[in-house]
Amino acid sequence: MITVLYTYLDTPIGPLLLAGDGVGLSKVGFPAGKGRVAPREVWRRDDDQFVEVRSQLTAYFARELRTFDLELAPEGTPFQLSVWKALSGIPYGTTISYGELATRLNRPGASRAVGAANGANPIPIIVPCHRVIGANGTLTGFGGGIETKRHLLALEAGEQANDAQKSLF
């Protein structure tokens, strides 16, 4: 059995849980919302792990990094993995709709399935599911909550987060 290691990183959107086998990152968990991830009893906290992940996320939140280069180890179905790979191709500061993402996967009628896979993304921010929005331009569900999604999109657009967003946590 592979030991799952975890640590936390304090960020402007709250403490993010980082988990994996010490080599590949398999989870990024938000402090609140449906994407909240709590460590399981069998996981072992090791704050010396995920040095590069912490470094790159810190640079991202400081607007010094636009593309992550990390060893990732997401677990999912082949369809989910294909959606998550496609998410990684959405450029920094850009948004697309679920329908557009489905079309990019040559599955134009599968926007709901794409949405479900997007919602199951275990490595948000790094695999940028926050860059997918509704067809009419509205912000739709997000594991860390809509305010967190708004904050991430504003960060990438170069906008200053408002005081309410800065004090989310």
Distance CA 63, CA 111 (A): 31
Domain count, the chain: 2
| Tens-digit pLDDT profile for residues 6-50 | 999 999 999 999 999 988 999 999 988 877 888 999 999 999 999
Residue 129 annotated as catalytic: yes
Q: Do 89 and 159 reside in the same domain of the chain?
A: yes
Domain range spanning residue 123? 78-166
Question: Do 52 and 122 sit in the same domain of this protein?
Answer: no
Q: Is residue 91 part of a domain?
A: yes
Task: Tell me the whole-structure pTM to 2 decimals.
Answer: 0.88
Q: Is the separation of the CB atoms in 93 and 128 below 8 Å?
A: no
Asked if 102 and 48 sit in the same domain, the reply is no
- HSE-CB at 168 with a 13 A cutoff on CA atoms is 23
Residues 18, 83, 123, 129: which is the catalytic one?
129
Q: Please report whether residue 67 resides in a domain.
A: no
Instruction: Establish if 26 belongs to a structural domain.
Output: yes
Is 111 within the bounds of a domain?
Answer: yes
